[in-house]
Amino acid sequence: MSDKHIISLIESNGLSALSESELSAIRAHNGDCSDCRRAFEVAQISVLLLKERLAEPFEPSPFFQTRVMAHLRERQIANESWAWGRMWRAAGALASSMVATVAALAILPFVVPGTQSNSGTSEMTALNTYSAEEVLLDQSGTTDDQVSDGQVLTTLYASADEDNVR
Amino acid sequence: MDLARFARDGDESAFEEIMRRYSPRVFRFASRFFRQRSLVEDAAQEVFLKAFTELESFEGRGSMEGWLTRITTNTCLNMLRSSNRRPELTVSGLTEDESAWLENQMADAASERHRSSERSLVAADLAGRVLETLSPNDQLVLTLIDGEDASVKDVVEITGWSESKVKVQAFRARRRMREAVQKLLAHGAKTVAKGVT
C-alpha cells in the first residue's frame, strides 16, 4: 500500500466508508507522499464542507401548508373548469354537426330537384314490383289450382253424364 | 396507507396530515440542493402538489417517506437541470471569512478542533457555492453518500439508477469536488502569499 497512491481509494469509496486498516495504510503512505497527503486533506475538507452544509437547519414558513393547499384548490378548480369546457366543446361540436346534417337534408331536394322523385319512384317500383309479382304468383297459383280442379270436376261430371246418357 | 387512501378519496384533512408529518423530511432533503430559502420552499411545494396528483401510484408497498423522498429527489434534480446555472467558483468570489476558513482547515485538516457556529455558517455557505459549480447528479451523490452517509443501495433506491452508475457518479463527483476545493486552496495560498509580501 505504501508504494501505491491512495487518491483512487479515497475517490472510489469515500472517507466515511474506509476501514481502520485502510485509514492507517493511507496515513502511512501520506508520510512519504506529499501529493497523496494533500489529496487526503482536501478530501477531508470536502467532506467537512458537505457535513456543515447538511447541518444547517431549515425552518419552513408557517404559511407553507396553507400555501400548498391554496395551490391545490386552484389546480383542482382549473382542472374542473377545463373538464367542463371540454365537455361543452364536445357538446357544441355534436350539436353543430347535427344541425349541419338536417340543413343538408332539407336543402338537398332544392339543390337536386330530380333526386327525391326519382328515388321515390324507384323505391315504389321496387316495392310494387315485388307486390305485383307476389300477387301474380299467388293468383296464378290459385288460378292454376282452381282451373285444374274445375277441369277435373268438369271432366268427371262430363264423363258421368256421358255414361248416364248411354 | 390509510392516510393516503383518504387523501386519494378527496379528504383534504388527510392530505394536510401527510404534509404535517412529512414536510420536515422533504424540507431537509430539498435544502440539500438549494441554498436559497425561496427555492427550497418552491421545491417542497412542487413535491406535495405532485404527491397529491400521483397518490394513485402510491400502492403502499414501500413507505410514504421513501416515496416522498423519491419525488423530492426527482423534483430537485429537475429544478437544478432546468435552471442550468453552473457558476464558476473563483477565489475572487470568496469572502474573507471563506478564504480564512479554507486556510484554517488546511492548517489543521486532520485535527478535531472545536468549530464555532459562526465558522460552521461560513463553511455551509462555502459548501453551497462549491456544490453549485457541480452538475445536479454530482451534487446528489455527494450530498447523499458523503454528506448523509447513505449507502450505494440507498441511492439506487432513491434515484432508480443502477448500482454501477451510482458508483461511477460518486467517484467522478468526489474527484470534481476535490479538484474544486484544491483549486480554491491553491489560489487562496497565492493570495495570502501576495498579501504577506
Q: Does some domain include residue A90?
A: yes
Q: Does some domain include residue A151?
A: yes
- The helix (run of H) or strand (run of E) holding residue B42 is helix B37-53
Please name the member of B41, B121, B174 whose beta carbon is closest to the beta carbon of A11.
B174
- Do B101 and B192 belong together in one domain? yes
**C-beta separation of B73 from B29 below 8 A:** yes
- Do A51 and A76 belong together in one domain? no
Rounded to whole angstroms, the Cα distance separating B170 from B164 reads 10
| Segments forming the whole domain that contains residue B99 | 91-196
**C-beta separation of B33 from B43 below 8 A:** yes
**B161 shares contact with chain A (CB less than 8 Å):** no
- Do B130 and B166 belong together in one domain? yes
Q: Does some domain include residue A84?
A: yes
- Of A10-14, A24-28, A82-86, A138-142, the range with the lowest mean pLDDT is A138-142
- Do B28 and B49 belong together in one domain? yes
Q: Which three cell numbers stand for residue A12?
A: 472510489
**C-beta separation of A51 from B187 below 8 A:** no
Distance from CA of residue B34 to its chain's centroid?
A: 7
Chain A environment of B33 (Cβ under 8 Å)? none
- Do B109 and B162 belong together in one domain? yes
Asked which of B83, B99, B123 is the last residue of a domain, the reply is: B83
Asked which of A111, A128, A145 is the last residue of a domain, the reply is: A111
- Do B147 and B60 belong together in one domain? no
- Do A160 and A124 belong together in one domain? yes
Asked which of A38, A55, A72 is the last residue of a domain, the reply is: A55
pLDDT in tens, A77-135: 877 766 677 778 888 888 899 999 999 998 888 877 665 555 555 555 555 555 555 65
Mutate to test the interface with A, among B45, B167, B177 (most CBs of A within 10 A): B177
Q: Does some domain include residue A22?
A: yes
Q: Which band of pLDDT confidence, cut at 50, 70 and 90, is reported for residue A159? A: low
**B79 shares contact with chain A (CB less than 8 Å):** no
Closest CA to B75 of B107, B48, B108: B48
Within A56-112, residue ranges assigned H as helices are 64-111
| CATH for B27 | 1.10.1740.10
- Do A39 and A13 belong together in one domain? yes
Q: How many CA atoms lie within 13 A of A54 on its CB side?
A: 19
- Do B192 and B96 belong together in one domain? yes
The residues, any chain, with a CB within 8 Å of residue B55's CB and separated by 6 or more, are: B4, B7, B8
- Do B115 and B177 belong together in one domain? yes
pLDDT at residue B75 greater than cutoff 90 = yes
Rounded to whole angstroms, the Cα distance separating A54 from A43 reads 17
- Of A150-164, B16-30, B182-196, the range with the lowest mean pLDDT is B182-196
Q: How many domains does chain A have?
A: 3
**Residue A133 Cα distances to A137, A140, A146, angstroms:** 6, 10, 19
DSSP-derived letter for residue B62 is S
Closest CA to B180 of A10, A13, A54, A42: A42
Rounded to whole angstroms, the Cα distance separating A56 from B160 reads 27
pTM for this prediction? 0.63
| Segments forming the whole domain that contains residue A14 | 7-55
Long-range Cβ contacts of A29-37 (<8 Å, 24+ apart): A29/A1, A29/A2, A29/A4, A29/A5, A30/A6, A32/A2, A33/A5, A33/A6, A35/A5, A35/A7, A36/A5, A36/A6, A36/A7
**C-beta separation of B81 from B137 below 8 A:** no
Q: Kindly provide the ipTM of the predicted complex, given to two decimals.
A: 0.75
- Do B117 and B74 belong together in one domain? no
pLDDT in tens, B100-156: 777 776 666 545 454 566 667 788 888 888 888 899 999 999 999 988 888 999 999
| Neighbour tally for B28: CB within 10 Å | 18
- Do B108 and B187 belong together in one domain? yes
- Do A102 and A127 belong together in one domain? no
- Do A123 and A107 belong together in one domain? no
DSSP-derived letter for residue B99 is H
Q: Does some domain include residue A1?
A: no
Pick left, alpha or beta for residue A143 (phi over 0 → left; psi -120 to 50 → alpha; otherwise beta).
Answer: alpha
**B28 shares contact with chain A (CB less than 8 Å):** yes
Please name the member of B45, B170, B181 whose beta carbon is closest to the beta carbon of A46.
B181
Cβ of A49 within 8 Å of Cβ of B126? The answer is yes
Q: How many domains does chain B have?
A: 2
Cβ of B31 within 8 Å of Cβ of A58? The answer is yes
- Do B20 and B107 belong together in one domain? no
Please name the member of A16, A50, A55 whose beta carbon is closest to the beta carbon of B143.
A50
| Neighbour tally for A24: CB within 10 Å | 12
Mutate to test the interface with B, among A42, A47, A67, A82 (most CBs of B within 10 A): A42
